[in-house]
Amino acid sequence: MLARAPGLTAAAWIVAKKDLAIELRTKSAFLSVIVFTLLGLVIFFFAWDSTAVSALDLAPGVLWVTFTFAGLLGLHRSFGAEMQDRAIDGLLVAPIDRESIYLGKAIANAIFVSAVLVIAVPAVALFYNLPLGRAVLALGSVAVLAAIGLVAIGTLFSAMAVNTRMAELLLPMLSLPFFVPIVLTSAQASTQLLAGRPFAEALPWLKILVAFDIVFVVACTVAFPHTLEE
Amino acid sequence: MSAPVPAVIASSLVKQFGKRVAVAGIDLTLRAGECLALFGPNGAGKTTLLRLTAGLLKPTAGSVRVQGVDVRRDAHARANVGLISHQSMLYAPLTALENVEFTARLYGLQNPRVAARTALESIQVLDWADTPVRTLSRGLQQRVSIARATVHEPTVVLLDEPYSGLDETGAAALTALLQSLRARGATLVVVTHNVGEGLALATHAAIMTDGKFARLERRDDSRGFDAQRYTMEYRELVTHAG
C-alpha cells in the first residue's frame, strides 16, 4: 500500500495545497488583511498633503509600508494553524523532509500575499491617480519578487515566534529589520516604473531584489529545521 | 541466520528539559507484534518517551531506533511510525476525509482517498467523512485522529491515552483495530492510566515513575502474570508518586 514518500517539492506542494484549502474554507486571514490594507491606504490618503508631496513620490512608499504590515498579519496565522491541536506533530512524524514543510508554507503564503497585492496595487493607483496601465506588467514582477522575499523571511520567523507567549510582538520585531532591503528595493523600482521611466532604469533595483530573494530563500530553508527543535 | 531487527530499541535514553529530567536512562527492546502497556502517574515521562520514539524530540543522551533506524535522521523511516497523541493533530476547518487524505498523501499512498476512507471505516467514523472536524465531538475527533495515525499501516504504533474521550462503540472499534494491527505484526506502545484497557492487549507491562521504569515485565513469562496484583501495585506506586 505504501508507495514512495513524496520528494521535497511534491511534499511542499501537498502542504501548500492544504494551507490554501484551509484559507479558502475560512477566508478569515484574507479578509482581515484586505480590510487592514484598504484602511491603511485610506488613512495615508487623508493624511497626504498633495501640495507638499507629489503622488508619484508618496505612493510607492505607502504601498510597500502598508503591504509589509498587512503581510505580517497574514504570516502570523501561518504556523498558528499548525499549533492548534498540535497538527505540526503530524507533519513532523511524516516521512518528508522538514524543509518541505517550510517551502510548502512559504508557497501558500506567497500565493496569499500575491492575492493581497492584486487588490492593493490597483487600490493605490486609484487613490493617488497613478498611470498604472503602461507599468502594470513590470509592477507585477516587482510585486512577485517582493512577495517572495517577505514571505521567505516571515515564514521562518512565524515558525520561531509561534511557540512564544508574545508571538504577535516577536514576529514583527524579528522580521522588520530583514524586510528593510526588500521594501527599499521594491519602493525604488516601483517609483521608477510609476514615473514612466524605461524598464532598464528599474532593472538594477530588480537585480538586487532577486539577489536578496535567493539569499533569503536558501538561508531560511536551511535554518527552518532548527526552529522546530524542542 | 541473523536475528530480526527489533521494532523498537531504546538504549540509555535520556531527555532533559533544562534541569528537569523527563526520561532518565530508559532501556527497552520490543519485537514485531509485541505490545507494551505503559502506566505511570502524571509527569512520569511517558509522553516524552513516546515523543522520543516518534522522533519528535532529540534525546539528550542515548538513542532510540525504530526498525533499526534513527527516525530523526532518516525521513523515509518515519513511515514506519504512527502516533496518536493527547492532541488530535487535525486541522479543524477541514473535513475528516480531507484530514486523513492529506496524511495519506504525505505518506505517498497510491490511492490516498481510498486509503483515507478505509481508515475512517476501520474506526467506524466513515459516516462523518464529509463533516468539518471542528463540528465533531471530542470522541469523534479522537476516532478521526486514530484513522489519521494508522492510514499508512505503520509497523510501530505509539498511542498516548488512545481511549480518552471514546464512547463504548469507539473503544470497541479501537480495540478491534489494535488487534488487527497486532495480527499484522505491528508493535504497539500504549500509554494509559486505565490498567484494564492497557493489559487487554499487552505482551509487556511497565510502570514509569520519575523518568524510569519502576517495573518492566513480560506478561507471558514463566513466573506468570497476575493482573489483579499488578493493578494494586500500580495504584500503590501512583499514590506514592502523587
Q: Which residue has the cell 505518506?
A: B107
Q: Which amino acid is at A185?
A: T
Using DSSP, how many helices (H) and how many strands (E) does chain B show? 7, 9
CA distance A188 to A139: 11
Of residues B56, B84, B79, B54, the one with CA closest to residue B147: B84
- In this predicted model, what pLDDT tens digit does every residue of A60-84 receive, in sequence order? 889 889 889 888 888 888 888 898 8
3-state helix, strand, coil in chain A (%, to 5): 85, 0, 15
DSSP B181-198: HHHTT-EEEEE-S-HHHH
Q: How confident is the model at residue A227 (pLDDT cuts 50, 70, 90)?
A: confident
Q: Please give the pLDDT value at position B2.
A: 66
Contacts of B52 (CB under 8 A, 6+ apart): B10, B13, B15, B23, B59, B64
Tell me the three cell numbers of residue B65. 531506533
Tell me the three cell numbers of residue A156. 521562518
Q: Quick check: B58 contacting A, CB < 8 Å?
A: yes
Phi first, then psi, for residue A151 (nearest 5°) are: -70, -40
Q: Please give the pLDDT value at position A195.
A: 84
Using CA atoms, how far residue B96 sits from A49, A91, A94, A213, in Å, is 54, 17, 18, 37
Disruptive mutation site among B105, B130, B152, B189 for chain A (greatest number of A CBs within 10 Å): B105
Q: Please give the pLDDT value at position B1.
A: 55
Handedness of CA B116, B117, B121, B127 (dihedral sign): positive
Q: How far is CA B165 from the centre of its chain?
A: 16
* Closest residue, chain A, to B148 (C-alpha): A90
- In this predicted model, what pLDDT tens digit does every residue of A100-113 receive, in sequence order? 999 999 999 999 99
CA distance A186 to B194: 61
pLDDT higher than 90, residue A52: no
Q: How far is CA B154 from the centre of its chain?
A: 11
- Specify the DSSP class assigned to residue B19: T
Contacts of A80 (CB under 8 A, 6+ apart): A162, A167
Q: Quick check: B109 contacting A, CB < 8 Å?
A: yes
Give the pLDDT mean for A222-228: 89
- Specify the DSSP class assigned to residue B44: S
Q: Please give the pLDDT value at position B170.
A: 87
The CA radius of gyration of chain B, in Å to the nearest whole number, is 18
CA distance B133 to B129: 9
Q: What is the pLDDT along chain B (242 residues), one digit of tens a residue?
A: 567 889 999 999 999 999 999 999 999 999 999 999 999 888 899 999 999 999 999 999 999 999 999 988 888 889 999 999 989 999 999 999 999 999 999 999 999 999 999 999 999 999 999 999 999 999 999 999 999 999 999 999 999 999 888 888 888 889 999 999 999 999 999 998 888 888 888 899 999 999 999 888 887 654 556 667 777 777 776 666 55
For chain B, which domains are there? Answer: 8-241 (3.40.50.300)
Residues of A in contact with B106 (CB under 8 A): 5-6, 11, 14, 91, 94-96
Nearest to A94 among B88, B107, B110 (CB): B107
Interfacial residues of A (vs B; Cβ cutoff 8 Å): 1-6, 11, 14, 18, 21-22, 25-26, 81, 84-87, 89-98, 229-230
- In this predicted model, what pLDDT tens digit does every residue of A192-202 receive, in sequence order? 888 888 888 88
Q: Please give the pLDDT value at position B222.
A: 46
Model confidence, pTM: 0.89
